Chain A
Amino acid sequence: MLLKVASDWLHRTNKLERTWLLAKIEFKLRYYENKLGLFWALLKPVMDIVIYYIAFKIILKSDIPAFASYLFIGLIFWIFFTEGCGGSIQILQTKKYLYEYSNMNKLEIYISTLLSNSIGFFFNTTMFFLFYLFLEPESKPIGINAFYLLPLFFNLFLLSLGIALILSNVYVIAKDITQIWQVFINFLFFLSPIFYKLTVYRQSLPGLDYLNPVAGLIINARRTILENQPPEWQLFYFDFGYAILFFLIGIILLNRLGSKAAEKL
């Protein structure tokens, strides 16, 4: 019964099509407008990896096995998170043309922007697997646990959506949020286990893997792909809890503050 109602709704409305159309256009605007084009989307994580590899492997002599792949996973999760949140702070201003002339639901604008980021994530993940399988000298075979990447990505998507909603709606009444977020994200970057060894990270900053919502995602992604183990379940549920909480706060703010975006921005 419920399924029938849902499928009827999907056939009648154009919401899904519209969200995908906006995502595609967003993706095109972001990458095809520049000289490097889509190449840049692929080049960005590779360049980051090279920088951190030199700093941590060559200079600081980190003893993490398969370090380049270890970094790669951490960075593709981190890049999605920062682009999804930071890139969406001014979304209600830049995408004003979509809602100031009609009663379109603003949530669709957010979802389409994050979908466009997901296309980048998909490219990066494909690159990672190619790298890991064919170039990484210390690679192990990828097992069934790698499929946990899907729920982990969904978690990352929901978390980024929630935080993007919060930031962009606060932006309606306080523009300074852009600068504050830049400082905060810099702080969070160094408090996330992107290039640290996990045991060192947990010893030095106990409890932070639970406090930092991105840390658990990165830790679990590595466990499932590089070590072929199921995720740490407690951390897994904790991170889903964060994502749902932020999403709910974001929706409340969208209704309270976002509804005034057309007149305030």
Chain B
Amino acid sequence: MEKNIALIAKNIGKTFVITEDSHNTVKHRLFNLFNPPRRKKVEALKNVSLDVNKGECIGLIGRNGCGKSTLVKVLAGVYPTDTGYLKINGSTMLMNLGVGMSHELTARENIYVSASVLGLKIKEVDVIFDKIVDFAELKEFVDTKIKYFSSGMVARLGFSIAVNAGADIMFLDEIFAVGDMKFQEKAVKVFESSWIAGKTVILVSHSMFTVERYCKRTAYMKNGELVFFGETSKAVELYKKDNQ
């Protein structure tokens, strides 16, 4: 495999089996012994193929329910694929409103655990620890359990860990909705200065402005299929047409 490729997906497919009517109680189950819950198959991804180079920022657009989030979860290795071939070169991190954090742990513990999951050694976390706390503006609450945090504080902490620790391949699902305006400005600045330069990023967004600004190549999805993958302006055009 070429060294500069971060991710290869060939003909990957993902189908969810959804039970429409689940019998949750014993009584319900007994009365419906011969009437099992109906199952429905939902094809979330159909034969999707794409490759992402190292250091590239890729956009991912499409209407609600088109399979963007499923694709991102499959590419990040969180969901297994049903069909096709997927090769991930390096650690991945999926980020939507927060990264994986336990509400039973303090901010300090979460920083160490999350950064460690992302592949950093303890000594490396020691070095960036203050930076993470300062960026998240949580200096006074380092040793507080995050279950006592407001949702904005949790999101800021998650964002800050992601910014400063980072994985080899970052999947960002609508991340610019985090925090208040002041924090968003800061987030955009960091995003531009540290992620665009050097990191492999897959950016999911409904903001065409953001996608056009940062991504050279963009994937446009519709009903679980990858309709177009290439120049951003063309993908945006297709998306806009679909929205009319």
Contact = CB atoms under 8 A, between A and B. Distances in A.
B192 interface: no
Nearest to A20: B122
A44 interface: no
A184 interface: no
A193 B80 CA distance: 43
A18 B79 contact: no
Interface string A98-119: 1111111000000000000000
Contacts, number: 67
A2 to B, nearest CB: 24
A103 B75 CA distance: 10
A21 interface: yes
Contact of B104 (A29, A96, A259, A262): A29
Question: Does more than half of chain B's interface fall in helix, strand or loop, or is it mixed?
Answer: loop
Contacts of B112: 21
Question: Does more than half of chain A's interface fall in helix, strand or loop, or is it mixed?
Answer: helix
Interface residues of B, number: 30
Given A14-B119, A17-B121, A17-B122, A102 B76 contact: yes
B80 A97 contact: no
B39 to A, nearest CB: 14
Contact of A102 (B94, B105, B121): B94
Interface in B98-152: 99-102, 104-105, 109, 112-113, 116-122
A60 B213 CA distance: 81
Interface in B161-184: 167
Given A102-B92, A102-B167, A103-B92, 19 more contacts: A14-B122, A17-B121, A18-B116, A21-B122, A29-B104, A97-B101, A98-B117, A99-B78, A99-B100, A101-B76, A101-B99, A101-B100, A102-B77, A102-B94, A102-B117, A259-B80, A260-B79, A262-B73, A262-B78
Interface of B: 16, 73, 76-80, 88, 91-95, 99-102, 104-105, 109, 112-113, 116-122, 167
Chain A to chain B: the 9 pairs with minimum beta-carbon distance, closest first:
A103-B77, A101-B100, A97-B100, A259-B80, A18-B116, A14-B121, A101-B94, A103-B92, A262-B78
